[in-house]
A = this chain, B = another copy of it.
Amino acid sequence: MIRSEVDAMIIVLKKSVTDEEKKNLIERIESLGLSVHLSEGKERTIIGAIGDESILQEKPITSMPGVETVMPILKPYKLVSREFQKEDTIIDVNGVKIGGNKIQMIAGPCSVESQESLTETAIEVAKTGTLLMRGGAFKPRTSPYSFQGLGETGLKYLREAKEKTGMMIVTELMDPRDLDLICEYADIIQIGARNMSNFRLLKDVGGVDKPVLLKRGLSATIKELLMSAEYIASEGNRKIILCERGIRTFETATRNTLDLSAIPVLKELCHLPVVIDPSHAVGRWDLVASSSKAAVAAGADGLMIEVHNDPQNALCDGSQSLRPSKYAELYTQLQTIAQAVGRSL
């Protein structure tokens, strides 16, 4: 057994690498202040770079002549990683704890449409024992001709519903110009899937003292989701809730494909709570129950479900919204499953 030191990056050279190319690579790495560990096997030469990996990550070593592949040793995120913090993060939202043994439900309409509709829905939802309410005042809609949300009026309706029910408000921030306004009303700021890589906005919410619910982008890898969480954390805000809401695949039978394996994978890699949004994942109300049950069984810390008192007249995502009565039914079923996996709901 031979012993030595490699700390940063492993660079596998092409079989056809020339001595000149090898020399250039070594000089290049050493010029960046790193030490080189050269391993010459029968089939391949490998360079181990020793020192601060972040120096190398910025450099296009991959494209240098003679290089076949480059393998970074360290993960690109730190603050949110399980290595940085072993214990699960439990986020306290004015008394409601997310990330602990109790699975939290977040329910309500896709968008806030009217005071009556929201209040009616909220009252019904609250009766089940649900402690968090969702509802968008600013809505990202694919078509410019669709309903775009009520704006501040919507936020006021949410506050009124909160006063009536005691439920905390989860609502989406779409634009940095609304940050102060959203902070005034929201208990949890939601960053939608479309903004997961809006890095300026991530920094903005990283600078406030409010829990952030960060949704995974439609085609974002788990690693990219964690990098976006790292953006928020790097600005000081560590109250981050991750949310899987379906990824885009070739399958069109459902709106998206819900990636429930993301739960154990995220739990292994990071210390943040993980919430599932089955409504957006499947896009059809009649498939929400199956996915919700699966999410609880798979280990989710919470569920985010669209409930509307009159889905057929909803201005947004009515097709995937449950009626309050269906939601209440589901709530009871989920409690049994939560118990079966040793948790409460």
Report A's interface with B, CB cutoff 8 A.
Answer: 1-8, 10, 12, 15-16, 26, 28, 30, 35-44, 46, 48, 50, 53-54, 57-60, 62-64, 69, 71, 73-74, 76-77, 83, 140-148, 174-177, 194-195, 197-201, 203, 218-219, 221-224, 227, 230-231, 234-235, 247-254, 257-265, 268, 281-282, 284-287, 290-291, 293-299, 311-315, 317-321, 333, 336-337, 339-341
Q: In the complex, which of the residues B44, B290, B318 contacts A60, with contact meaning CB atoms closer than 8 Å?
A: B318
Q: Chain B's nearest CB lies how many Å from the CB of A258?
A: 6
Contact flag A260-B290 (CB < 8 Å), given A198-B195, A319-B60, A337-B340 = yes
In the bound complex, residues from chain B placing their C-beta under 8 Å from that of A57 are 143, 146
Q: Is the CB of B5 within 8 A of A4?
A: no
Bound Cα distance A201, B143 (Å): 14
Q: Is the CB of A143 within 8 A of B76?
A: yes
Q: Is the CB of B285 within 8 A of A7?
A: no
Contact flag A315-B58 (CB < 8 Å), given A36-B1, A41-B50, A199-B140 = yes
In the bound complex, residues from chain B placing their C-beta under 8 Å from that of A71 are 10, 12, 69, 71
In the bound complex, residues from chain B placing their C-beta under 8 Å from that of A265 are 253-254, 287
Bound Cα distance A71, B39 (Å): 15
Bound Cα distance A12, B10 (Å): 10
Bound Cα distance A140, B234 (Å): 16
In the bound complex, residues from chain B placing their C-beta under 8 Å from that of A46 are 6, 10, 48, 73
Residue of B nearest to A60 (CB): B318
Q: Is the CB of B261 within 8 A of A282?
A: yes
Residue of B nearest to A195 (CB): B198
Q: Is the CB of B4 within 8 A of A314?
A: no
22 pairs from A and B in contact (CB 8 Å cutoff): A1-B26, A2-B36, A4-B37, A4-B38, A4-B39, A4-B40, A12-B73, A58-B147, A63-B285, A140-B199, A142-B227, A143-B227, A174-B198, A174-B200, A176-B177, A221-B253, A247-B257, A261-B281, A261-B282, A261-B287, A264-B286, A336-B341
